[in-house]
Amino acid sequence: MAPTRLIPLRPLLTKHLLTGPSVTGSLLTSTPSPLQTIRAFSLPDLSQLSSSLTPKPQTISASRQLPYPSPLLYSIISDIDSYSNFLPFCTSSVVHSFTPSTPPLPSLATLTVGWGPFPSESYTSRVYCVAGRTVEAVSGEDARPSTGWDVLGRYGYTKDTGRREKREGDGELFRSLVTKWSVTPVEGKEGKTDVDLRIEYLMNNPLHQVAVSGVADQVADKMIRAFEGRAEKLYGEWKRKEAEAGR
């Protein structure tokens, strides 16, 4: 019986490694390594994420047509010191300064307001009046009046009016708060007036902005109804006597 011949394995293994399929080509290129996978992952653009979370000003409004002449209703919206006597959510209203025009018009006031579950806070507001038409209270460094300066200039207002509006004790809930009342005589209906309320607000906390948005429309509606009640209290009796005299 012939002796068994042993074949050395090292030369064959060496030859296979040198001539066989590439380990790098068959394995590493077909299946990415964990390191390659990690490098392929990219983080989202944080600047875009931040901008998407930045809240934008929200606007609410309400309107009424009331059976009173517009001059009488304008006298209510221009009497800012009396706001706290009849407007819900307003606990204090004080005018600090007036324009040099004749007659002088309010130019700076502090309003203390509170919405829903949030405590009342005070805000110093720049005030802009278009005599007989509109009264607008603007709070916040970036907030601007909706009426053009060409119109406001006729009533003694300038771009510097009330610029030093931030005062010690001013609240931090709102980044900006703009409230505008407008009265417009109804064409073809003597003695009747359209009253419009527009509120634009932006809160510092985005979560607060979301929380308030669900009840914001109720705020405007309550305010316009309170205005209607104020008009009835001041001029209702006069209106009834006028109606009786015209019979």
Per-residue pLDDT for 165 more than 80?
Answer: no
Please count the residues of the chain: 247
How many C-alpha atoms does 56 have within 13 Å on its Cβ side?
3
Report for 23-32, 100-109, 191-200, 205-214: range of highest mean pLDDT: 191-200
pLDDT band, very low/low/confident/very high, at 14 (cuts 50, 70, 90): very low
Least confident of 49-63, 124-138, 227-241: 49-63
Residue carrying the six token digits 């068994």: 4
170, 124 Cβ separation under 8 angstroms: yes
Angle, to 10 degrees, between the axis of helix 216-245 and the axis of helix 70-77? 140
Which residues, at least 6 apart from 134, have a Cβ–Cβ distance to it below 8 Å?
Answer: 128, 147, 180, 181, 182, 183
CA dihedral 81, 76, 172, 211 (to 10 degrees): 150
Per-residue pLDDT for 80 more than 80?
Answer: yes
193, 73 Cβ separation under 8 angstroms: yes
* Residue 141 vs residues 3, 49, 125, 202, 207: alpha-carbon distances, Å: 103, 25, 10, 12, 21
Average pLDDT on 204-213 reads 82
Query: Helix and strand tally (H, E) in the chain?
Result: 9, 7
Per-residue pLDDT for 83 more than 50?
Answer: yes
- CA 63/CA 65 separation, integer angstroms: 7
- CA 83/CA 103 separation, integer angstroms: 20
| pLDDT of res. 47 | 46
Fold of 58-245: Alpha-D-Glucose-1,6-Bisphosphate; Chain A, domain 4 (3.30.530)
Q: What global pTM score does this model have?
A: 0.74
pLDDT band, very low/low/confident/very high, at 211 (cuts 50, 70, 90): confident
| pLDDT of res. 209 | 83
| Per-residue pLDDT reduced to its tens digit, 24-67 | 444 444 555 554 544 444 544 544 444 445 678 899 999 999 99
DSSP label at residue 147: S
Strands of the chain, DSSP E: 58-66, 90-98, 106-113, 121-130, 134-139, 174-185, 193-203
- CA 17/CA 40 separation, integer angstroms: 31
Beta bridge partners of 113: 90, 121
- CA 192/CA 60 separation, integer angstroms: 24
pLDDT band, very low/low/confident/very high, at 243 (cuts 50, 70, 90): confident
